[in-house]
Structure 1
Amino acid sequence: MKKNIDKIICLPKGDIHNHLHLGGSIKTFQKKYSDYNIRFPDNYNGLGGMIDFIYNDLNRAMLTGEDVIFFMENAIESSINDNITYLEASVDINLIRFFDQSLDNLLEVVRDLKKKYKNQINFCPDIGINKDLDIKQVYRDGTKCIQSGLFNGIDLYGQEVGKDLTSFVELYQEAEKNNLSKKVHIGEFSNHDTIDYAINILKPNELQHGINAVNSEETMNLILENNIQLNICPQSNISLGTVKNIAEHPIRKLFDYGIKLTVNTDDLILFDATVSDQLINLYENNIFSFEEIDLIRKNAFKD
């Protein structure tokens, strides 16, 4: 077993469900911001509890554009340290508030990051959009991001329950016209009906989480019929209370149903589990064999 664990650590990996400014290691963060004495909990009280921690605790240290750049660099360097060679990470477009409300300034930061780390990692940023962001800003800045040629995909996140997604249809159509991968966060806190709705409305290529599809064969069939990949983050699910423990995680059932899936960090600074950590956890708990782990690892790389 140790030989295979060493292989998992050393093999090149991808992380394609990653929020860039939340993707860095806690250790590196605490070294720079030790004066803030921020304590990271092992578990959060659902999505609301996580959001409260970000706003009330973590954001005390993210006050300037320089702070945001540090958070992003921490994420990329943490990925490199885990032998992540392919990184799709979302850049939240509302981070312009740290850059004089200028999208051009934010895009320049992203370009600089791609250039700085190009010899160490294939960093392919996604356009990150919160569902609660003012829709005028979504289209003003989202469209400009799509047309910039800088981004690999688009990712919509935030509250999952009771959200009308029709406002985002035209933006996703524009993303498709420009050959961007279309992702949407759904089915971690919401039921399988919301997954059906998101698929039918936004026509995504990938679902971020999507684990509650396991409760409906019709939903799993819809995922298969549309060749949709699930980018799953097991430790995030556990820390947020949507899954009790790794043994009860639905990832195995989804895999056995034939759904293509990957394992990712989500927010390393919040959940403190690298891609390697999670793959090893799935292997050590006999959820997957090494050969299956290797297949899941390879799924993160684009064909």
Structure 2
Amino acid sequence: MKQHFIAALENRSLDDLRKVPKSDLHNHAGRGGNLKYIEAWANITIQPHSGTFASLGEMQEWFVRSVKSHCPGMEGYLKRIEAAFVQAADDGIELLALSFGIDEIDSLCGMESFIRIMDSLRQRYAPQTAFLPELALDWACNTDAVRARLDDIFAYQWFRSIDICGPELAQPISNFRSIYRKAKSAGLVLKAHTGEFGTADNVLEAAVELELQEVHHGIAAAASPQIMKWLADHHIRLNVCPTSNVMLGRARDYASHPVRTLYDAGVPVTINTDDLLIFNQSVSEEYLNLYLCGLMSAAELNELRECGLRSG
């Protein structure tokens, strides 16, 4: 597939890129679909956001107003999850890590019902895609309350990884230590959002404190050669989302995205969507954006593609 992928980039062919196996390892489930799919279902037109968001709060307000308002209630929620699986199948996503919060489990009346519904949607809409469900905690969550729920959640052996997302550093990273020890004992891959808005030191602290195997975003590490070397030496992979970083003002544009610096330093990196219903760029489009701006060669981007496919 290497030559097919390289040729597709060199020919600037999105159709051919979509046929090549890829991964999407940083995807928030209820935001992982395609706007056109939601438009067709709701019989509306959604104008994609242009320019940058001033903050995560502004991004969330736009999503609620422009997308979520057209997908109300449980029917709308499940349609957005369905859209994420449809998108994965359409874009050649062979490995898909969708993240879900505990509130989503509760909204579907507990783990048994939640698992049955999610597995059914995956089987119907993306049967060829390996599904890697991720448990996402909020940086501002009540860690004691979360800890009390974990034995029940982990007993089903359904989640493959754990993450912390939302506003970084809402509380000390050490507050999550015992939760991550439980997750490690349960065999989950340990991940966390860090270094999206914080510093390189925050990335290192989280990786050491929680024994992370992967970091969502982590682009702030590009400011520190020492921390990049540590990440490379410890094989800590960063799951980066270029358009998300540009639209949230964390990178000026594709041509100056830190993925170049991280790659050159030997840090394992993958390319992902984050919130496709907000940022409106598929995995295939993310690769093409990085190629067209001249940031990375087609062969280098293929290395990132292959890095993602070594998950699972």
The TM-score with structure 1 as length reference comes to 0.91
Q: Contact (CA 8 Å) 2:244, 2:279: kept in 1 or not? A: yes
CA RMSD in angstroms comes to 2.1
Shift of 1:34: 3.8
Mapping for residues 1-303 of structure 1, pairs under 5 Å = 4-6=11-13, 7-34=16-43, 39-42=47-50, 43-96=52-105, 98-100=107-109, 102-117=110-125, 119-302=127-310
2:158 partner SS? coil
Q: Counterparts of 1:249 and 1:218 in 2: how far apart (Å)?
A: 19
Q: Counterparts of 2:299 and 2:46 in 1: how far apart (Å)?
A: 39
What CA deviation, in whole Å up to 9, does each residue of 1:114-140 have, x standing for no partner? 433463211121112112233344223
Q: Contact (CA 8 Å) 2:82, 2:125: kept in 1 or not? A: no
Q: Contact (CA 8 Å) 1:87, 1:121: kept in 2 or not? A: yes
Q: Contact (CA 8 Å) 2:183, 2:190: kept in 1 or not? A: yes
Q: Contact (CA 8 Å) 1:4, 1:290: kept in 2 or not? A: no
Q: Counterparts of 2:150 and 2:70 in 1: how far apart (Å)?
A: 27
Letter in 2 for 1:259: V
Structure 1 window deviating more from structure 2 (110-119 vs 6-15): it is 110-119
Q: Counterparts of 1:82 and 1:96 in 2: how far apart (Å)?
A: 27
Relative to structure 1, the CA distance from residue 189 to residue 135 in structure 2 (aligned partners, 3 Å threshold; closer, same or farther) is: same
Relative to structure 1, the CA distance from residue 167 to residue 254 in structure 2 (aligned partners, 3 Å threshold; closer, same or farther) is: same
Relative to structure 1, the CA distance from residue 164 to residue 54 in structure 2 (aligned partners, 3 Å threshold; closer, same or farther) is: farther
Shift of 1:4: 4.6
Relative to structure 1, the CA distance from residue 245 to residue 93 in structure 2 (aligned partners, 3 Å threshold; closer, same or farther) is: same
Relative to structure 1, the CA distance from residue 81 to residue 115 in structure 2 (aligned partners, 3 Å threshold; closer, same or farther) is: closer
1:132 partner SS? coil
Q: Counterparts of 1:9 and 1:62 in 2: how far apart (Å)?
A: 27
1:150 partner SS? coil
Stretches (4+) displaced over 6 A: none
Letter in 2 for 1:60: S
Q: Counterparts of 2:126 and 2:34 in 1: how far apart (Å)?
A: 20
Letter in 2 for 1:132: A
Q: Counterparts of 2:175 and 2:234 in 1: how far apart (Å)?
A: 22
Relative to structure 1, the CA distance from residue 194 to residue 162 in structure 2 (aligned partners, 3 Å threshold; closer, same or farther) is: farther
Letter in 1 for 2:68: N
Q: Contact (CA 8 Å) 2:35, 2:46: kept in 1 or not? A: no
Relative to structure 1, the CA distance from residue 105 to residue 201 in structure 2 (aligned partners, 3 Å threshold; closer, same or farther) is: same
Relative to structure 1, the CA distance from residue 113 to residue 150 in structure 2 (aligned partners, 3 Å threshold; closer, same or farther) is: farther
Q: Counterparts of 2:35 and 2:49 in 1: how far apart (Å)?
A: 11
Letter in 1 for 2:128: Q
1:69 partner SS? helix
Unaligned 5+ segments in structure 2 are: 1-6
2:239 partner SS? strand
What CA deviation, in whole Å up to 9, does each residue of 1:153-211 have, x standing for no partner? 11110111453122221121122122211110010111112112111211111000000
Unaligned 5+ segments in structure 1 are: none
What CA deviation, in whole Å up to 9, does each residue of 1:63-122 have, x standing for no partner? 32222211111001111111111111112221245335x344323322323433463211
Relative to structure 1, the CA distance from residue 230 to residue 72 in structure 2 (aligned partners, 3 Å threshold; closer, same or farther) is: same
The TM-score with structure 2 as length reference comes to 0.89
What CA deviation, in whole Å up to 9, does each residue of 1:194-237 have, x standing for no partner? 11211121111100000010111222122123210000000000
Q: Counterparts of 2:125 and 2:157 in 1: how far apart (Å)?
A: 18
Name the % identity.
28
What CA deviation, in whole Å up to 9, does each residue of 1:37-72 have, x standing for no partner? 654312322222112223444332343222221111
Q: Contact (CA 8 Å) 2:88, 2:126: kept in 1 or not? A: no
Q: Counterparts of 1:141 and 1:63 in 2: how far apart (Å)?
A: 27
Aligned residues: 301
Q: Counterparts of 1:172 and 1:302 in 2: how far apart (Å)?
A: 23
